[in-house]
Amino acid sequence: MDSLLATIDTPADVRALDAEALRRLADEVRARIIDTVSRTGGHLGANLGAVELTVALLKVFEPPADKLVWDVGHQTYAYKLLTGRRDRFDTLRRFGGLSGFLRRDESPYDAFGAGHSGTALSAALGMAVARDRRGGGEHVVAIVGDGAAGCGISLEALNNLAGTTGRLIVVLNDNEMSIAANVGSLARYLAVLLANPRYNRWKTSVESVAKRFGMGWLRQRYYRIEEVLKGLFLRSLVFEEFGLRYIGPIDGHSIPALTDALRIAAHSVKPILLHVSTRKGKGYPPAEAHPEAWHGTSGFDVATGVSTAPARGPSYADVFGRVLERLAEQDPRLVAITAAMTAGTGLEGFKRRFPDRFFDVGICEEHAVVFAAGLAAAGRVPVFAVYSTFAQRAVDCVIHDVCLQGLPVVFCLDRAGVVGADGPTHHGVFDMALFRVVPGLTLMQPKDEAELAAMLVTAVRLGKPAMIRYPRGGGPGAAVPDAPEPLAVGRAEVLREPAGSGGAPVWFWALGNMLEPARGAAALLEARGVPAGVVNARFIKPLDEALLAQHGAAAQAVVTVEDGVAAGGFGSAVQETIRARGLPARVWRFGWPDRFVPHGSAAALRDAHGLTAEAIAARVADEAAIGRVAG
């Protein structure tokens, strides 16, 4: 049988298909997603669950004229396939290829960029209001999923919705998961709606009769009277208190049910919410059985579901989790917090062992920080584990609610630096520039697993705000002692002394995973006759100013290397210190440029941006280049 997917170049081709062809298309799209992600890696579970929903949306609406605003982007692989990107889909998440998320500069069908959860409602509301003001007629649809309905931004948008616009369609794609299982009152409320037995028996009987006898009119009539009838079975609906007409739950894997409901929504004279029930990982048994494990995946064998990625040792997240458990055994005040990322941040073990001291607050980073501040003010020692890119949402809370009050909250920023294929929405490159300027915050980065353990002990015992950043994946494999000792705050470590005594040396000051290219560059320089030393800075704040003063007074140059933006980051702190002391050394800063770094493997990105040992050594060896950036 010929491929239907091969004939789909635009959404207009989807709208031309009949019901049977739409079902076939959904099957082909699902198979293509599984095949591609098995080779490129990516977000599999939520994307498989959203296939029929995507097909139905493109059957009913006409983007790019109609605006489909997706939350997160974890649901949009099918959308990419059906909006003119089929021929490039094999480049997904690869350097120079398609993004794993939505990007306005990638396609006119991407109405709004999506990488962080909770933005769809606010953005769609803004588009709807702009349409209303100019008298436009297009539909605006917000597709909210992966736990975003409980995100603080989504709730703020809901609060602003009533009276702001008369026409807005919200599709709540409820797969009962965010990355981990959804938590909180709203998640429990949606579960009640989905599980009410009397309501669902009645609903199922109507659906089965309509399907058996081809009575599409019955399904449409059912949706029209549902708003009245549901009151017989369910308590007052929270969404309607926000000014949204509520319809659902709708079978998210039935294209006829979805298209009927979407057509009803398209004619609604008030904002409307369609509550769609989907299954994360739908159509691929391993992902259905273990949806959290298949949220994001590396390459795998389709037949078995077994990962094809090389075996790896413990990640920094694994080490963090294990050490935190040991510290919790010793200190009953210690508590752990995460924002819907229990497994990703290494806290599964802590959750099992200390359930009364573990808190998953959902996708609510601002709340997590202020919640931690409250715990600290009441005598607890809270440790908030969060991806660096998501910590950006809570900058004000870190400043105002933690550091201004000097509260002993520990922030552990996982996925700091460039993270690879997830791209600019997920690169954790801004944290040093954002947080090093905050008074009273100790900020550090370890060179290996053992040093991460020592830094965690340091932070927990410090009695002041502290932050540790560390990259995705594993380190060099250093053994972690059973009883790590705290570090001397603000003390750097010399790893390599310059060879010989001829001429002023170059000193490399580097952090964490950038020590490897710094060491390589130092070796290359010495092979050219330039003496070079290497310092593991450890502390971004406070800097080891005494050691830096020694090097700044005697060195030809101090070269900083960091996995963060160069503007305002660690290198800027070094440069400011050397200038303030009037020291003669030049400063040459290596970090990520003043633009958003694209997606691709970390190795490819470093090569493209001159952050390899060879590129660093070549530029440092160029005396003219050094002279142009005099400290």
pLDDT reported for residue 139: 97
Q: Is the per-residue pLDDT at 631 higher than 50?
A: no
Q: Is the per-residue pLDDT at 473 higher than 50?
A: yes
Active site residue 67: no
**CATH 3.40.50.970 in the chain, residue ranges:** 5-196+234-289, 316-469
- Winning range, highest mean pLDDT, from 60-74, 90-104, 242-256, 397-411: 397-411
Contact 108, 62 (CB under 8 A): no
Of the listed ranges 211-215, 556-560, 595-599, the least confidently predicted one is 211-215
pLDDT reported for residue 490: 96
Q: Is the per-residue pLDDT at 238 higher than 90?
A: no
pLDDT reported for residue 305: 87
pLDDT digits (tens, 9 = 90+) for 113-154: 988 888 899 999 999 999 999 999 999 999 998 577 778 788
The β-bridge relationship of strands 466-469 and 442-444 is parallel
pLDDT digits (tens, 9 = 90+) for 94-105: 998 998 889 999
Q: Which of 32, 131, 230, 393 is catalytic?
A: 393
The β-bridge relationship of strands 493-496 and 532-536 is antiparallel
Q: Is the per-residue pLDDT at 560 higher than 50?
A: yes
For the residues of 308-375, what is the DSSP string, one character each? -SPP----HHHHHHHHHHHHHHH-TTEEEEESS-TTTTT-HHHHHH-GGGEEE--S-HHHHHHHHHHH
Q: How confident is the model at residue 225 (pLDDT cuts 50, 70, 90)?
A: low
Taking residues 393-398, report their average pLDDT: 96
Q: Is the per-residue pLDDT at 8 higher than 90?
A: yes
pLDDT reported for residue 210: 56
Burial class of 266 by CB neighbour count within 10 A (0 to 12, 13 to 18, 19+): middle
Q: How confident is the model at residue 87 (pLDDT cuts 50, 70, 90)?
A: very high
What is the rounded distance in angstroms from the CA atom of residue 243 to the CA atom of residue 246? 9
Q: Is the per-residue pLDDT at 204 higher than 90?
A: no
The one-character DSSP state at 428 is B
Active site residue 280: yes
**CATH 3.40.50.920 in the chain, residue ranges:** 493-628
What is the rounded distance in angstroms from the CA atom of residue 587 to the CA atom of residue 568? 14
CATH match for 316-469 among 3.40.50.970, 3.30.70.270, 3.90.550.10, 3.40.50.300: 3.40.50.970
Domain 5-196+234-289: CATH architecture, name and number where available: 3-Layer(aba) Sandwich (3.40)
pLDDT reported for residue 162: 78
pLDDT reported for residue 45: 85
* Sequence-separated (6 or more) residues with CB below 8 Å from residue 309: 41, 298, 299
Taking CA 533 as the corner, what is the angle to CA 529 and CA 538, rounded to the nearest 5 degrees?
A: 160
Number of neighbouring beta carbons within 10 Å of residue 236 = 7
Q: Is the per-residue pLDDT at 236 higher than 70?
A: no
- Winning range, highest mean pLDDT, from 306-310, 311-315, 569-573: 569-573
What is the rounded distance in angstroms from the CA atom of residue 541 to the CA atom of residue 432? 9
* Residues facing residue 503 across a β-bridge: none
pLDDT digits (tens, 9 = 90+) for 573-608: 999 999 999 999 999 999 999 999 999 999 999 999
Q: Which of 59, 80, 219, 280 is catalytic?
A: 280
Q: How confident is the model at residue 202 (pLDDT cuts 50, 70, 90)?
A: low
Tokens 């959904």, residue? Answer: 26
Of the listed ranges 303-307, 342-346, 409-413, 591-595, the least confidently predicted one is 303-307
Q: Is the per-residue pLDDT at 502 higher than 80?
A: no
Q: Which residue in 389, 447, 442 sits closest to 413, CA to CA?
A: 389
Taking residues 17-27, report their average pLDDT: 95
What is the rounded distance in angstroms from the CA atom of residue 345 to the CA atom of residue 368? 14
Structure-model confidence comparison of residues 455 and 264, the more confident one: 455
Q: Which of 365, 366, 451, 526 is catalytic?
A: 365
Retrieve residue 625's tokens.
């280049």
Active site residue 351: no
Retrieve residue 600's tokens.
């691709």
* Residues facing residue 428 across a β-bridge: 417
Of the listed ranges 26-35, 75-84, 214-223, the least confidently predicted one is 214-223
pLDDT digits (tens, 9 = 90+) for 324-374: 999 999 999 999 999 988 999 999 999 999 999 999 998 899 999 999 999
pLDDT reported for residue 317: 96
Taking residues 412-438, report their average pLDDT: 94
Average pLDDT, rounded, for the chain: 88
Burial class of 142 by CB neighbour count within 10 A (0 to 12, 13 to 18, 19+): buried
- Winning range, highest mean pLDDT, from 178-187, 273-282, 385-394: 385-394
Structure-model confidence comparison of residues 152 and 186, the more confident one: 152
Q: Which residue in 567, 616, 562, 573 sits closest to 596, CA to CA?
A: 567
Contact 586, 536 (CB under 8 A): no
Of the listed ranges 146-155, 511-520, 619-628, the least confidently predicted one is 619-628
Q: How confident is the model at residue 402 (pLDDT cuts 50, 70, 90)?
A: very high
pLDDT reported for residue 233: 46
Q: Is the per-residue pLDDT at 179 higher than 50?
A: no
Number of neighbouring beta carbons within 10 Å of residue 145 = 28
Give the CATH number of domain 493-628: 3.40.50.920
pLDDT reported for residue 230: 52
